[in-house]
Amino acid sequence: MCGIVGYTGDELAKDILINGLKRLEYRGYDSAGVALEDAAGGAAHIDVIRRVGKVAGLEEALANRDAAATCGIGHTRWATHGRPSKENAHPHTSCNGRIAIVHNGIIENFAELREELGQRGHTFTSDTDTEVFAHLIEEAYYGWPVGSPSDPAAGTAPGASAAPGCHDLMAAVREACTHVVGAYGLAVVCADEPGVIAVARKDSPIVIGRGARGSYVASDVIALIDATRDVVVLEDGQFARLAPEGITYTDTEGAPIEPAVTHIDWDIDMAEKGGYPDFMLKEICEQPRVVRDTLVGRMTGGELTIDELGLSLEELNLIDRVYVIACGTSYHAGLIAKNLIEMWARIPCEVEAASEFRYRNPIITPSTLVVAVSQSGETADTLAAIRDARIKGAKVFGITNVVGSPVARESDGVIYTKANKEIAVASTKSFIGQVVSLTLLALLLAQVKYRLTVGQVRMLFRELGDTAEQIQWILDTQKDAIHEAALACKDAHSALFVGRGMGAAIANEGALKLKEISYLHAEAYAAGEMKHGPIALIDPGFPVIAIATKSPVYDKTVSNLKECEARGAKIVVVATEGDEDIARIADHVIYIPPVRDAFSAITATVPLQLLAREVALMRGCDVDQPRNLAKSVTVE
Ligand code: F6R
């Protein structure tokens, strides 16, 4: 949520910042801005340029400027405090304009801080929580009353005494952090320390790298991968001082530290569209690879193994309850997993939205396994739920797409989904990676509990691998059918997604994809529940999108569809190849290859992703960056 970037070196900062911000735009796109250190005409000062809307607007504004700065910071925003406006766009500056800050996170005590700072004479120009940071750093650096001694007219709280400034940016940032409650990843520049960027982190991602032409910071490695593949993932309570000649790291006391360096091995192509019209389509088309890569190395010596689990087989054998906690699409992957874990391992499994789980008092014992699923690995609610579950004594296992992310670090064990960087805001390939990973976990639990034999697990593993080709078949053959179905849905004001069993779980993801990228209201319902209320919605032409693949509940699902047909619904069905009968009640049929019901989510979700994308494009929507959303949700 929000992207930050910073550069100091010997190249033009504005170009590097804009490129970085474009890569980070998936984190938020309400407004964008940069602060450039400018030494032109003698004394150094900071130029702040901000625009409402996407980075392209900021790029245009910068194109006309002769900005020779070689040090600067930038930000792309997803609004939390304050509406999207130029005033609320980052960077924010101190009263004297000599300090500028970009921030990702939330300052929980900002109202008190703002009040106190106001009493001491600070004036605020935005509604954001971030701005208090700029003023806190200003006080620590220059002392107060504000602006003293050059601005003796500045206000001071009655009875308040003056404090001297430390005139050291790193010390001032450290001091400011001691007053703040909340989460932050921040980068700060000061006109009185040209070329220096101070960086701090708490509960918000920061990566730092050193390239041939300077020092870089960003909230995601994707913004600095052109410059270096060796990065430091800053930990909570660590600080960094970036200068053109190098980077130093310190702890909360200012003592030097040497953080570990992580090598990034994924390809820069991941950050480019590679000839596709949008990232969403590119990522949907990568799904066969995601299946294959997520399975690599899992079957060794004929036995399923997940070495990173962080639990011994004996400990796994003792597990008697599983909670899957996640949000959004990741939560839907959990719904699929529940079916598999209960079917194969015979362990009760509950799936809960992380935002609810953390505020309940769930029954957790040392034999409870909590599986936290998160593409980004930084979703605030999921992280808080992990912490809560661990305090209550559960073993926590993370499934995430981001190496070294907070979910990975705070869990007892982790499976990486191998989707690689996902840029489109709507999750597609990471969902498939999650479902495959959760399927492996379900198989492993069944294996250690002797509910499935090693031979059965091996056979299921082989079939799981086959889904890669099945997805490819859908991508290669169903384009026209999906296009026709999209034409039938595009002008609707609402749609229902229905299914039974696995189909009901898949319906949830289909409905979410459609609503989030096309802004067409959609709801998922268990098909058997339709007659208990939702069927009242159906009038002639109302789209009902059904998952009716060959499964033990196929006939029941078809009966429910007939009830919809009788009321004039326009019916789109995802069906099994070879099922000609379904065409009698369906207006549009999209086929998937025959697949075991347990694996049907991996294939049947793909046409629903493509359908949502087609409808969104027909309705003129931006499929990669839907309104009001951001890829990582680092606030509650
Ligand atoms: C929808 C989508 C979101 C995320 C949710 C959780 O397409 O992407 O619903 O699934 O915000 O995010 P992660 O998985 O990063 O925890």
Domain assignments of the chain as residue spans, ordered by start: 3-264, 271-475, 478-636
Q: Strands 230-233, 207-211: parallel, antiparallel or unpaired by DSSP?
A: antiparallel
In contact, 55 and 21? CB cutoff 8 Å: yes
Ligand 1 within 6 A of 405 CB?
no
Residue carrying structure tokens 């010997």: 10
150 pLDDT higher than 90? no
Task: Kindly report, residue by residue over 252-286, the tens digit of the pLDDT.
Answer: 999 999 999 998 877 677 778 888 999 999 999 99
CATH topology of domain 3-264: Glutamine Phosphoribosylpyrophosphate, subunit 1, domain 1 (3.60.20)
489 pLDDT higher than 70? yes
CATH class of 478-636: alpha beta
Question: Alpha-carbon distance 449 to 447, whole Å?
Answer: 5
Query: Helix H segments across 424-453?
Result: 429-448
Ligand 1 within 6 A of 510 CB?
no
Tell me which DSSP letter residue 275 carries. T
Ligand 1 pocket, mutate which of 284, 324, 329 (most atoms under 8 A from CB): 329
Contacts of residue 480, Cβ cutoff 8 Å, sequence gap at least 6? none
Contacts of residue 201, Cβ cutoff 8 Å, sequence gap at least 6? 184, 185, 186, 234, 235, 236, 237, 238
For ligand 1, the distance from its centroid to the CA atom of residue 304, given in whole angstroms, is 28
For ligand 1, the distance from its centroid to the CA atom of residue 376, given in whole angstroms, is 8
Ligand 1 within 6 A of 327 CB?
yes
Q: What single letter denotes the amino acid at residue 207?
A: V
In contact, 632 and 379? CB cutoff 8 Å: yes
For ligand 1, the distance from its centroid to the CA atom of residue 328, given in whole angstroms, is 5
Ligand 1 within 6 A of 374 CB?
yes
- Residue 326 CA, closest ligand 1 atom number: 16
Tell me which DSSP letter residue 25 carries. G
Number of neighbours of residue 246 by Cβ within 10 angstroms: 10
Helix (H, G, I), strand (E, B) or coil at 140: helix
Ligand 1 within 6 A of 330 CB?
yes
Please state whether the peptide bond connecting residue 145 to the residue before it is cis, i.e. omega within 30 degrees of 0: yes
Distance of CA 511 to the CA centre of its chain: 19
Report which protein residue has its CA nearest ligand 1's atom 9.
Answer: 328
Reading the block at residue 145, the tokens are: 């009353």
Task: Kindly report, residue by residue over 181-221, the tens digit of the pLDDT.
Answer: 998 999 999 999 999 999 999 988 899 999 999 999 999 89
State the pLDDT at residue 632.
75
Give the bridge partners for 398, in sequence order.
372, 414
149 pLDDT higher than 50? no
Ligand 1 within 6 A of 633 CB?
yes
Question: Alpha-carbon distance 374 to 422, whole Å?
Answer: 12
Q: Which stretch of DSSP H or E encloses residue 416?
A: strand 413-416
In contact, 287 and 280? CB cutoff 8 Å: no
Domains 3-264 and 271-475 share a fold: no
* CATH number attached to the domain at 271-475: 3.40.50.10490
Find the distance separating the first CA and the last CA of the chain, reported in whole Å. Answer: 11
Residue carrying structure tokens 């060794």: 300
State the pLDDT at residue 310.
82
Question: Alpha-carbon distance 106 to 633, whole Å?
Answer: 11
Report which protein residue has its CA nearest ligand 1's atom 5.
Answer: 328
Ligand 1 within 6 A of 355 CB?
no
Question: Alpha-carbon distance 400 to 473, whole Å?
Answer: 27
Task: Kindly report, residue by residue over 359-375, the tens digit of the pLDDT.
Answer: 888 899 999 999 999 99
Range of lowest pLDDT (30-44, 214-228, 395-409, 546-560): 30-44
> Would you please indicate which residues are annotated as catalytic (active-site) residues?
2, 631
Question: Alpha-carbon distance 631 to 423, whole Å?
Answer: 8
In contact, 465 and 597? CB cutoff 8 Å: no
Ligand 1 within 6 A of 426 CB?
yes
Q: From edge to edge, which strands make up the β-sheet containing 413-416?
A: 349-353, 321-326, 368-374, 395-400, 413-416
State the pLDDT at residue 42.
65
Question: Alpha-carbon distance 304 to 297, whole Å?
Answer: 9
Q: From edge to edge, which strands make up the β-sheet containing 92-93?
A: 92-93, 99-107, 182-190, 197-202, 239-243, 246-250, 256-257
| Per-position DSSP letters for 339-385, written without gaps between them | HHIIIII---EEEEEHHHHTTS-----TTEEEEEEESSS--HHHHHH
Give the CA dihedral 604, 610, 611, 616, nearest 10 degrees.
150
Task: Kindly report, residue by residue over 43-62, the tens digit of the pLDDT.
Answer: 789 999 999 998 999 999 99
| Per-position DSSP letters for 26-76, written without gaps between them | GG--SEEEEEEEE-TTSS-EEEEEEEES-HHHHHHHHHTS----SEEEEEE
Ligand 1 pocket, mutate which of 219, 376, 516, 634 (most atoms under 8 A from CB): 376
* Mean local confidence (pLDDT), 556-560: 94
State the pLDDT at residue 522.
97
Distance of CA 431 to the CA centre of its chain: 12
Q: Where residue 513 falls among pLDDT bands split at 50, 70, 90? A: very high
In contact, 553 and 507? CB cutoff 8 Å: no
Ligand 1 pocket, mutate which of 327, 371, 624, 628 (most atoms under 8 A from CB): 327
State the pLDDT at residue 361.
87
432 pLDDT higher than 50? yes
Cα atoms in the Cβ-side hemisphere of radius 13 Å centred on 164 = 3
In contact, 400 and 264? CB cutoff 8 Å: no
